[in-house]
Structure 1
């Protein structure tokens, strides 16, 4: 099965301390970073950096300045007039209709590769099949990933519209390939021939296995009538899943309460919802969640709780129909359940039974602390109600918030920390951290005409002290009304090795197609004009091209040349998203199918979650966090207080996630295909069995709001799994041993060489076993999953 692999994101972080906080004024020498591409008579030629220099002060100062000083950025980014080089330097994307040209050219290339694979008959030709299929996937992903990004981020509606058309054209062709049994048969023939596999690298063998399983999951090996039903089911599942998420609704849209019942709630919010002495409270809203945490009246909280935990019958019916469709799809494909089908593909767990072992072990290790937290809440309740012996479901948020408030420092916590976290200083800190750990740094590069989608977007080149230019990072970090507020990491293009034969083939096509005459060399044509690198032995690699999207406040909105200041939560978010980026940067594999974050799905959040530990580490923060005006170092006690406050009921929060992961597993089990399937009974039963706190009362149907059931589909446990693994890696690799372990190069190299650089090209259990030094993990399986669960996910003090 040829497919585009989604990037993990939500719907998916050092040297001389004396110069960390220098406030640089714009100076002419910084313009040396503004390097223009070469021009040729034939057209556009990609720029190929060759710097291998270690961290230097000028790069470091410029990095802070392009983010912290709007005037400096305007001077730095101002490029002389000229012809557009195309979005991301993709030479096809100089104007919106170029997306259609890009799609057409890519489809022609793809059809040529398909014809080559289907015609393979000799041993030599079969040996090239894995590389050809990976190239075919890359050709399609280049369009799909680019278009996917543009559709949700680009401010030009016409550009979005053309990107959507290109996406539809290529996606339709990809679906045709997924029903093409000839590709599957050719791959199977290659894998069955020892004369072929004997010369394959380990990475090629891994890619072959991934592709084979993809074909199996798409039912391409079944008779035609079953394939037709598979396609119809897949289409209906997609439609029902989208409708479930978009149309989910509560049983009661709005609660009408006397304003006197909402004492304790922020009066400004309450007043904004008040009409004629009554408060009109939308059931699924921020104010409703706030009311559950702050309203003193238990009767009012009870009404709000019931309303906010009861989905409409239609929402629940749609959810259950989705589960039944997935159960039928799994049966058609020869799997016991949808969970068995889903967990066979790029998952460490590999089976629902292994996930169950992990979740039960995690629940057991978490239970004592969760029960302790519930006892503390009851004690807090008894201060106001001495005769109370139990907690009600609508008590938990209220008394948790009451206890958390007692931990807060005087004043507004965000205002106390933000002055130490200007965006430029944080980016500077990230670059220094990566230099310390991995020998790579972030270098500002002047964007060329048409290269970015908005003037606020900063381009950074990722430079290795041994390998030169290894990635391109585009940072769209400031708020705009026309883009999603959700932080996200996009891999617009993956790492991949481009062979001489492929370049020659593309160059020949370029000479025959007038629309491809814009390129000046085979290397440029093979990369669509985008940046590439030349490795030892003259090997060409397309560079990972990554976009980070956040919604931080614009620096100009704060007046003058003041920097954007981040809250601690925003700092943690940026470190998290940069963890995904560094995975894409370091896993520069020869095959895009397994590059970067295209690893086991339940491993993909490990690098990003691990970065949150760096964001809270005193030695890391001490290397860069300075007050943007006074240059004073950050008082770490304020961060420690913030972390303690966030962790105060961590075990209870973890227990809630365990219950949701168990619900996800249960709804995607064989039970979904049986008569009498009732998602409400299943959810309430799991709560009663595994919850330490009061379960939802009868009459509620919260599972109808669980939108992640559509997207995750039996893999929701991954969030918890990676949290546990991140804590373990932090404790074993970076926190143990001598002080300052979080900044030791040998620890970074250990993580990179054992895990990060492999992407999906190596058994993830082997990677974990090596980085943690624990042979019990090497073979994976149910026992290894249970072992991980037994470690727990509660951070150690």
Structure 2
């Protein structure tokens, strides 16, 4: 398809758990504390690890911390351009069309005319010289669609003004409808195929052009463009049904019984005040899903009561199970119609895994590597159960309803030996963390995060900070909009959005832009501005000083404001989980920043799904590395450095039951593969229980703790809709990231800030975006360019599984 829809940003299982946990929470320099808070405030911004940075760089570094930690400083800083352009709006993201809500439709209409000219040109190709332009022309067509769709989709979800939301939504609809027309325009597919089959054309294409052509051909194929008219209509009908049924499945996830009626005395061990809030006349109405049930499974002393709660908590509503089975069967039918053995085969064809068999080999190898750790963990829980004087329920066996209860006891014992959980936060103000990220990026990659005063109307909220990414050698290479503070109505989920991709702007586009700028002087002062709608551009020294549109990124988090809000003198302090989340999202941003390709279809995070999480998962390791903590982690009042030993203690607690967590993800990955095999083709529409039988088959084969008969938890597995057949990706990228961390960044002392390691990772992995096979990227970073990894396939997948997920 010409627009590679990515839907909602991937929310990995770890991020979801971090959000749930967060919602429940009611060059190392040694120095002594520097006296009073007042004294520290005067000197803390001047602290720098050993550095020969210029005065201007030091100024940017201090400013970066202050714009996030000091509301008064940010107020003054952001007001500097208040009267720029006479106070007139510069447009959202400096997009000159978007100075008012009506501008969204103008933006869409102008873009639509550009698209139609490209389509007409492609359909009229006749000569070899014409066909040589096919990959670039279709990539630009895709980019134009993305310019409107990606930006409008983001704005309609985050902008506080309903008029702007509505306008963005209308522009989104206009372009989305046109995209669907293009995806069924057989002439475009025919011309692309002709170009790819002409040796005199194909031989002149760059590797990026060849990759993009292959991507677009596959996407056209997946939209059934090669099928006969009646089959194509069946494809559209089934696809529409999948979207509707899948959405209904996610929206209606519920337990078969929403409440359990229990005598309050059966809930001994649970917080009595919490129990009282759910109790009337001695009887407690306990919701069977959500926080109350989770808390009960962790704290209720009576095993029989826990068993009753566990069964209710993992038994899904029967009607929603029917929706799930309908979804899975329709997906299998869609794959068969498209000529694939199964939906998994169809989905994985352009991923690193390639086949379901390869995914299974990875998950089985990982399960084998993880088995000894899970066995040790389960034995510890069983020993706790044996020593529990209250337990007379199968004392020699660990039941499914025992695991959460004894895990909570084990972790409680561990945490009681450690410091208070919020101890680390005092060393992790948001400003110092952002400062630390910039210092880390500068040491590894020669990149800095430089604050820029926003122009009037450039951002969607006054709390949004703009950062320019500056490369020591290449200059300005990206723009990041940071929307990191909580506010009413804002989504709590952390996310990374690419609002505009990297792409080379051709001479033809500049000529077109020059004509446009002469006709619309009120909007654009120069052709360079007009070529990118007013957004940032830069001449790329790595590509003969060609003009590039710069990656434009939005980072969304929901960090709590300090007591007193923006008027407080205390900065926003992050928990360790929030720190890890910010590093994770910055890993995605780094991929978008460094994946500065000439074609947008392979820019940054536009790569195989099972490669996309690798840079972000790897970045989590840097959050706790001692040499990285030494770059920034200092007490917000005293300026004392954080002892890395305290972080190590915290990590040990967090990883205490890592084996069980990995096993849980392996189970879900296996279930996902089974559900998207050809098996659902044999299910009849009126049949009930097929998905439950498959669920228990997977658990009986791979789980260390037996699942009791009668449960049907698969009805709560919402990721089956959004990430069907690719749920293994997060574990896969964790395994690769762990190997890269150990072999690249931990080969020597201080490796986490070693420029040589950073240069290797940037050159072999980050800079390619999706323009290079993921296996070649991994093999290059691990210095195994001629081995099994570079070839990919089932053997490489199995090797990655053997690496395991550690740490």
Corresponding residue for residue 163 of structure 2? 158
Within-5 A mapping of 1:250-649 = 250-345=255-350, 347-384=351-388, 385=391, 388-409=395-416, 413-509=420-516, 511=518, 518-536=523-541, 537-555=544-562, 557=564, 560-649=568-657
Match of 1:147 in 2: 152
* Deviation larger for 533-542 or 777-786: 533-542
> SS where residue 647 of structure 2 aligns?
helix
Tell me the distance in 2 between the aligned counterparts of 1:166 and 1:17: 55
- Report the CA distance between 1:538 and its aligned residue: 4.2
CA-CA distance at 1:744 after TM superposition: 0.2
The one-character-per-residue Cα deviations of 1:133-156 (angstroms, maximum 9, x if unpaired) are: 000010000111111111221112
Q: Could you say what secondary structure the match of 1:219 adopts?
A: coil
Is the Cα–Cα contact under 8 Å of residues 502 and 548 in structure 2 kept in the other structure?
yes
Query: CA separation of 1:638/1:9 partners in 2, compared to 1, >3 Å: closer, same or farther?
Result: farther
Aligned partner of 1:782 among 794, 798, 804: 794
| Cα shift at 1:413 | 3.2
Question: C-alpha separation between the residues in 2 aligned to 1:212 and 1:107?
Answer: 22
Structure 1 distance, partners of 2:191, 2:28, is 53
Q: Describe the superposition over 1:38-62 as per-residue Cα deviations: whole angstroms up to 9, x where unpaired.
A: xxxxxxxxxxxxxx98972111100
Task: Report what 1:763 is aligned to.
Answer: 773
CA distance in structure 2 between the aligned counterparts of 1:629 and 1:9, rounded to whole angstroms: 37
In structure 2, the partner of 1:187 is 192
Separation of aligned partners in 1, 2:119 and 2:409: 63
Give the match for residue 761 of structure 2.
751
Q: Is residue 705 from structure 1 mapped to residue 713 from structure 2 by the alignment?
A: no
Check whether the contact 1:20–1:623 (CA below 8 A) recurs between aligned residues.
no
Deviates more, 1:498-507 or 1:609-618: 498-507
Aligned residue runs from structure 1 range 20-99, under 5 A: 56-78=57-79, 79-81=81-83, 82-99=87-104
- Secondary structure (helix, strand or coil) at the match of 2:538 reads strand
Q: Distance in 1 between matches of 2:696 and 2:676?
A: 16
User: Is 2:695 the counterpart of 1:683?
Assistant: yes
Q: For structure 1, which runs of at least 5 residues remain unmatched after alignment? A: 30-51
Gap runs ≥5 in structure 2: 13-26, 47-52
Q: TM-score, normalised by structure 1?
A: 0.93
Query: Counterparts of 2:189 and 2:699 in 1: how far apart (Å)?
Result: 44
- Give the secondary-structure state (helix, strand or coil) at the position aligned to 1:698: coil
The alpha-carbon distance between structure 1 residues 306 and 204, as it changes in their structure 2 partners (threshold 3 A), is same
Secondary structure (helix, strand or coil) at the match of 1:614 reads helix
Contact 1:603 1:764 in 2 (8 A): yes
Describe the superposition over 1:132-190 as per-residue Cα deviations: whole angstroms up to 9, x where unpaired. 10000100001111111112211122211221111111111111111111111000000
Closer, same or farther: CA 715–20 of 1 in aligned 2, 3 Å: farther
Deviation at 1:506, TM superposition (A): 3.6
Corresponding residue to 1:102 among 104, 107, 112: 107
Aligned residues: 766
Match of 2:740 in 1: 729
* Distance in structure 2 (CA, Å) of the matches to 1:25 and 1:534: 40
CA contact (8 A) 1:418 1:568 kept: yes
Cα distance in structure 1, aligned partners of 2:664 and 2:91: 47
Distance 1:218 1:151 in 2: 27
Q: Is the Cα–Cα contact under 8 Å of residues 448 and 469 in structure 2 kept in the other structure?
A: yes
How far did 1:25 drift? 7.0
Distance in 2 between the 1:573 and 1:660 partners? 23
Aligned pairs for 1:173-184 within 5 A: 173-184=178-189
Q: Which shows bigger deviation, 199-208 or 503-512?
A: 503-512
Shift of 1:10: 4.0
User: Which deviates more from structure 2 when the two are superposed, residues 189-198 or residues 95-104?
Assistant: 95-104
| TM-score relative to the length of structure 2 | 0.92
Pair 1:207 & 2:212 matched? yes
- CA RMSD in angstroms, aligned pairs only: 2.3
